[in-house]
């Protein structure tokens, strides 16, 4: 697709005196800005930095540049104070959008900038034998969207679910099961029962410290591979995965690997040996640490006094394994911001071990979820199950479909797409780093800037295109969208505003990939949906003039495709009828 910003930069750089002032095409491109007010143009070139080279005021330089820029690319060029404001020809931009979307289809907005490079994205990573609650949705949908975006940019993406299937909590669970559990209870309701055991363990441990000692001993036995502890752990893991798979299926989430913490249990010996050989390990009260005080990162605990390993040991082992197994260009971890120190510590340890790829390990943090009226905790059992959230969203949508009398032959499927789409969209609407409070009313509110609103815009565009095709067929013609259009019919305010947003989509996707920020796409597709609504209401689309109708339907089809592609990156499906 034509890059009008770069073409503008080239024209500016070619003006007399620009080379002597140090302004080549790349420099001009970097200086060009996008005005916040579209009335100030499509791009603006500030002239302050040229004052010394040209020995003129920035205002005078802007006036000279505005008068010297050649025509052909612009509807208008004007200088406002020290800025040169350029207005790209509306017909050129609209024709380019129609051509590019028609050509690229489901790939519109993507690129091959990441071709030939492999990226690992680790996300979701729930703990085995604990409920898949609303707190897990952030890592799950943010990580999935990042994976989708990077694939759309041409990267080969390996999606890893680093299950929390190892650690002292399993010693606690094994102890709880032995003390007051039963196989019959677990088989009847696995996750709910295991959660109850976990909560009961912590309640009893407050008055019976022997439970903690017994739990530590049970985990140590698990690490040694003792048969009974190993069998219980495998059973808990299998039962948990059954429930996780149901939730992932509802969300449309996929993984290439479920290699969790336990996968690296036989790979930590090598890490310990390397740390020892590199002189990084120190003794501290019977435990072993890596002292990172010199880097402002404190002391990293590598093994406890009983010799058992910790998260940090396993993360180092996992990173080494992944580099050797996948030869990644980036190793991305979508994990809550509260783990920031942990990631800084183990990545610094990998660097100190002499691995130059340590800087390719990237922690992508996100804000935490809290409950409206209380603190969420698996230890107390105060959680909101994610499956319940998704199920309730679908049921609420069914009620709305019935109340509004929506005509559809696929009410169940439509309700699923809209209900689950609403939950995912809301999660991805705000900047990922922001904390937020889970509120049932907000999650299930479909008004305003929501997923259902954007989905409805897609369905409205699809309906408009069907109606256009029916009208053309009834008139004995065919409303083909395969040929060129007359873009002069798309130069009105509402049409051009919509075309510009569609034109900007590839840049937004690229920025979202660079910043690992899906909310950029969520907000942009909301803008496209709102602009389409303005176009739909302000323009007479199905006119008697065949050329005008053809051009306007082509723009509607571009909006439909842009919305579909954007929502697909977020993991939200689109219903054809709403």
Active-site positions read: 130, 133, 136
- Taking the CA of residue 60 as centre, how many other CA atoms within 13 Å lie in the half-sphere pointing to its CB? 7
The β-bridge partners of 283 are 288
Residue 85, Cα to own-chain centre: how many angstroms? Answer: 34
78: enclosing H helix or E strand? strand 74-80
How many angstroms separate the CA atoms of 337 and 335, rounded?
7
How many angstroms separate the CA atoms of 332 and 517, rounded?
13
The β-bridge partners of 437 are 370
How many angstroms separate the CA atoms of 461 and 576, rounded?
9
Residue 382: DSSP 8-state: B
Judged by DSSP in three states, 500 sits in helix
Contact (Cβ atoms closer than 8 angstroms) between residue 216 and residue 209:
no
How many angstroms separate the CA atoms of 561 and 109, rounded?
10
Helix, strand, coil tally for the chain in percent (to 5): 60, 10, 30
How many angstroms separate the CA atoms of 443 and 217, rounded?
43
- Taking the CA of residue 550 as centre, how many other CA atoms within 13 Å lie in the half-sphere pointing to its CB? 16
Distances (CA, A) of 434 to 122, 186, 427, 430, 446: 20, 37, 11, 7, 21
Contact (Cβ atoms closer than 8 angstroms) between residue 569 and residue 149:
yes
How many angstroms separate the CA atoms of 206 and 318, rounded?
34
**Taking the alpha carbons of 329, 333, 339, 342 in that order, is the dihedral positive or negative?**
negative
Judged by DSSP in three states, 83 sits in strand
């Amino acid at each position: 697709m034509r890059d009008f910003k770069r073409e503008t930069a080239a024209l500016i750089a070619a003006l007399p005196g620009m080379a002597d002032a140090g302004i080549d095409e790349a420099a001009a491109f970097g200086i060009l800005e996008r005005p916040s007010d579209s009335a100030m143009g499509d791009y603006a070139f500030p002239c302050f930095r040229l004052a010394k080279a040209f020995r003129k005021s920035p205002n005078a330089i802007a006036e000279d540049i505005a008068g010297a820029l050649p025509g052909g690319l612009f509807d208008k060029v004007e200088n406002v104070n020290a800025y040169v404001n350029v207005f790209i020809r509306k017909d050129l931009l609209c024709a380019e959008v129609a051509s590019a979307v028609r050509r690229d289809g489901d790939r519109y907005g993507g690129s091959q900038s990441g071709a030939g490079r492999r990226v690992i994205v680790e996300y979701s990573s729930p703990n085995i034998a604990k409920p898949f609650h609303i707190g897990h949705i952030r890592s799950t949908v943010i990580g999935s969207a990042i994976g989708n975006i990077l694939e759309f940019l041409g990267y080969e993406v390996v999606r890893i679910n680093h299950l929390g299937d190892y650690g002292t909590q399993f010693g606690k669970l094994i102890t709880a099961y032995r003390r007051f559990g039963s196989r019959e209870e677990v088989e009847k309701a696995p996750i709910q029962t295991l959660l109850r055991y976990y909560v009961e363990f912590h309640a009893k441990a407050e008055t019976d410290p022997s439970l903690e000692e017994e739990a530590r001993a049970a985990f140590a036995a698990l690490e040694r591979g003792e048969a009974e502890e190993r069998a219980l752990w495998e059973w808990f893991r299998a039962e948990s995965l059954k429930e996780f798979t149901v939730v992932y299926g509802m969300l449309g989430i996929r993984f290439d690997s479920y290699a969790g913490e336990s996968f690296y249990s036989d790979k930590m010996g090598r890490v310990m040996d390397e740390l020892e050989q590199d002189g990084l390990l120190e003794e501290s009260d019977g435990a072993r640490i890596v002292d990172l005080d010199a880097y402002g990162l404190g002391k990293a605990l590598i093994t406890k006094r009983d010799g058992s390993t910790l998260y940090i040991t396993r993360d180092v082992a996992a990173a080494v394994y992944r580099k050797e197994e996948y030869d990644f260009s980036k190793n991305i971890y979508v994990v809550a911001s509260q783990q920031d120190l942990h990631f800084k510590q183990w990545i610094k340890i990998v660097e100190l071990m002499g691995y130059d790829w340590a800087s390719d390990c990237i922690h992508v943090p996100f804000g935490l979820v809290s409950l409206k009226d209380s603190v969420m905790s698996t230890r107390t059992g105060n959680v909101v199950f994610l499956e319940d959230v998704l199920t309730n969203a679908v049921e609420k949508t069914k009620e709305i479909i019935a109340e509004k009398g929506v005509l559809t032959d696929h009410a169940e499927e439509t309700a699923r797409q809209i209900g689950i789409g609403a939950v995912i969209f809301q999660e991805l609407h705000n900047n990922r780093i922001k904390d937020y409070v889970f509120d049932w009313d907000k999650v299930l509110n479909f008004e305003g800037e929501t997923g259902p609103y954007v989905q409805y815009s897609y369905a409205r565009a699809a309906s408009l295109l069907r109606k256009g095709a029916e009208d053309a067929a009834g008139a004995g013609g065919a409303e083909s969208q395969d040929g060129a259009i007359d873009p002069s019919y798309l130069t009105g305010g509402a049409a051009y505003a919509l075309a510009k947003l569609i034109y900007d989509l590839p840049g937004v996707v690229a920025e979202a990939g660079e910043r690992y920020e899906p909310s950029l796409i969520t907000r942009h597709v909301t803008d496209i949906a709102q602009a389409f609504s303005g176009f739909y209401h302000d323009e007479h689309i199905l006119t008697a003039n065949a050329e005008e109708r053809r051009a306007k339907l082509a723009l509607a089809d571009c909006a439909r495709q842009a919305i579909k592609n954007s929502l697909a990156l977020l993991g939200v499906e689109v219903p054809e009828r709403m």
